[in-house]
Amino acid sequence: MADLQALADALIKGDRNKVAEMTKQAIADGVPAKDILEKGLIAGMAVIGRRFKANEVYVLEVLIAARAMKGGMEILQPALVKAGVEPIATVVLGTVKGDLHDIGKNLVGMMFTGGGLKVVDIGTDAPAEKFVEACKTSGAKLCAMSALLTTTMPQMRDVIKAIKAANVQVKTMIGGAPVTQSFADEIGADGYSADAASAVDLAKSLL
């Protein structure tokens, strides 16, 4: 019988082949897809998130675990669809206009996916209209923005203004090295988080 704790442990170790193998085995054993997702893959990613927050693991380990998660998800996806398991919600994620930094954003995206959210990644250098359009077309409940430059932080205010002007009903959250809670308060963002692990907790609390 499939051991979901062992699946979580393989993900924590970033062992992509083992994660793929064990996901296949769990499906073959008739374990519900939702349990494989929540007690195996998401549980493993949550541990990585906590360790990352506590500085016990570094970016590279998170990337390797996320790659293993992706491998497992590819195998699990058809079973999830068949079982009617929906993502918790859709999140639009992008780096704001004028800003090409995407390592942190991608990490946040991986943690979001690892937390059971569907991510619509609109990339870098994304103008306000692109965020608004993506939120409208995807039916997202959350719009998440990243900025790494002090010069591009004001773009976040523009995105929030554009969302309000278009009357799109989404919560907004921001992050990135120069961003602070007081800046979030100043521009009317619904939330701010300092790192990728907190970002997924914040996203879930906003939804």
Q: Which is nearer to ligand B1M, 23 or 146 (CB)?
A: 146
Q: Does 173 bind ligand B1M (CB under 6 A)?
A: yes
Q: Taking a C-beta distance cutoff of 8 angstroms, is the pair 131, 144 a contact?
A: no
Separation CA 17–CA 23 (nearest Å): 10
Residue 31, both tokens? 């374990």
Of residues 176-205, which lie at the interface with ligand B1M (CB under 6 A)? 176-178, 193, 195-196, 199
Q: Does 100 bind ligand B1M (CB under 6 A)?
A: yes
Separation CA 199–CA 112 (nearest Å): 8
Q: Which is nearer to ligand B1M, 35 or 56 (CB)?
A: 56
Q: Does 33 bind ligand B1M (CB under 6 A)?
A: no
Q: Amino acid identity, residue 205?
A: S
Q: Taking a C-beta distance cutoff of 8 angstroms, is the pair 26, 7 a contact?
A: yes
Of residues 55-94, which lie at the interface with ligand B1M (CB under 6 A)? 59
Q: Strands of 90-95's sheet, edge to edge? A: 118-121, 90-95, 142-146, 171-175, 191-192
Please select the residue that binds ligand B1M; options are 75, 149, 166, 206, rule is CB under 6 A: 149
Supply the minimum distance, in Å, between the C-beta of residue 165 and ligand B1M: 21
Separation CA 44–CA 125 (nearest Å): 32
Supply the minimum distance, in Å, between the C-beta of residue 76 and ligand B1M: 25
Q: Which is nearer to ligand B1M, 80 or 149 (CB)?
A: 149
Supply the minimum distance, in Å, between the C-beta of residue 128 and ligand B1M: 15
Of residues 104-143, which lie at the interface with ligand B1M (CB under 6 A)? 104-105, 107-108
- Element (DSSP H or E) covering residue 119: strand 118-121
Q: Which residue has the tokens 């979901």?
A: 4
- Element (DSSP H or E) covering residue 121: strand 118-121
Please select the residue that binds ligand B1M; options are 68, 144, 162, 189, rule is CB under 6 A: 144
Q: How many residues bind ligand B1M (CB under 6 A)?
A: 28
Please select the residue that binds ligand B1M; options are 99, 114, 170, 200, rule is CB under 6 A: 99
Q: Which residue has the tokens 């991986």?
A: 110
Using CB under 6 A as the criterion, which residues of the chain lie in contact with ligand B1M when the complex forms? 59, 98-105, 107-108, 144-146, 148-151, 173-178, 193, 195-196, 199
